[in-house]
Structure 1
Amino acid sequence: MAHTVSDYMTAHPTVVEVTDTLRSVAETMASQDVGALVVAENGAVTGIITDRDLVVRGLATGVGLDAPVGQLTTGALVTVGPDDGVAEVVQLMRDNAVRRVPVVEGDVAVGIVSIGDLAVALDSDSALADISAAPPND
């Protein structure tokens, strides 16, 4: 039986609104010890924001901490459904040079899948799997 995205995704991802401030998004990432959050507008997924986005596209360019997170999300959103095949999400990640993909039903986030999730599950002997499975640095 072919594996689907739902086999490897993190269910119930934290979703922030496009109007949430960069400060509140950064605080959420810190408190949950995550590097990416799904961004939505009125519940409909519109993007993803990463810790790198906050630093490189936000702080480094002078965007203030009270700016809305929607200002930093990219326009080209890549999503998959929970029943999509793993090979499909891997190809989407390759084609779009992304490491995390929101999993949606309709336009609502039901999960998020990362390249690390897939490495741990499908290539457990790889360096990426080792790094992804390691506990976070304190």
Structure 2
Amino acid sequence: MKVREAMTNDVCLAHPDRSIREAAQLMTEHDIGALPIGENDRLVGMITDRDIAVRAVAAGLGPDTKIREVMSEQVMYCFEDEDISDVAQNMGDIKVRRLPVLNRDKRMVGIVSLGDVAVKQGARQAGRAVAGISTPGGAHSQSH
């Protein structure tokens, strides 16, 4: 099965010059914990609820802080024509629960989550990815 068959097509995309308050409101409205960040028709980052809590609130930054100040700029992604089993394995290896999905022109076309993998491929495949994510991977930096 290809990623395009499992991914969510309707993806909320935020601009890096919007505020983290707006990002949090979008997350609440769409019941999501991560937002892809796009600028000039390109994926330029991701922001998670954890980024807002750790990189902004814990650092004393206010709600009008621009997304670009706290987003992750190094975004892992996959392509829509990749095999979902390979992508799920990769998600476990790189310890992420969701990946933006790009077409071969590097335009964002969706997002794939472990929930999508579980629904389309079964709990066993998603479980292997979760096990990889849950394995301690050494020191993690919450800064840029």
TM-score (norm 1): 0.81
Residue 84 of structure 2 corresponds to residue 113 of structure 1: no
In structure 2, the CA distance between the partners of 1:127 and 1:96, relative to structure 1 (3 Å rule), is: closer
Structure 1 regions of 5+ residues with no counterpart?
Answer: 129-138
Deviation of 1:127 (Å):
9.6
Match of 1:46 among 40, 44, 47: 44
CA distance in 1 between partners of 2:93 and 2:126 (Å): 22
Retained in 1: the 8 A contact 2:46–2:73? no
Partner of 1:97: 95
The verdict on how the C-alpha distance between 1:84 and 1:126 changes in structure 2, with shifts beyond 3 A counting, is: closer
**Deviation for aligned residue 1:47:** 1.7
Root-mean-square deviation (CA), in Å?
Answer: 2.0
Per-residue displacement from partner, 1:63-120 (whole Å, max 9, x unpaired)? 2211111122223211111111112212321222111100012232110001121123
| In 2: Cα distance, 1:71 partner to 1:86 partner | 32
Q: How many residues align?
A: 126
Instruction: Name the SS of the counterpart of 1:65 in structure 2.
Output: coil
Deviation of 1:35 (Å) = 1.5
Contact 2:46 2:72 in 1 (8 A): yes
Instruction: Give the Cα separation in 2 of the matches to 1:20 and 1:47.
Output: 13
Kept in 1: contact 2:2–2:83 (CA 8 A): yes
With the length of structure 2 as denominator, give the TM-score of the two structures: 0.78
Counterpart residue number, 1:131:
none
Matched, 1:87 2:48: no
Runs of 5+ unmatched residues, structure 2: 128-144
Aligned ranges for residues 1-138 of structure 1 at < 5 Å?
3-105=1-103, 106-124=105-123
Give the Cα separation in 1 of the matches to 2:67 and 2:76: 18
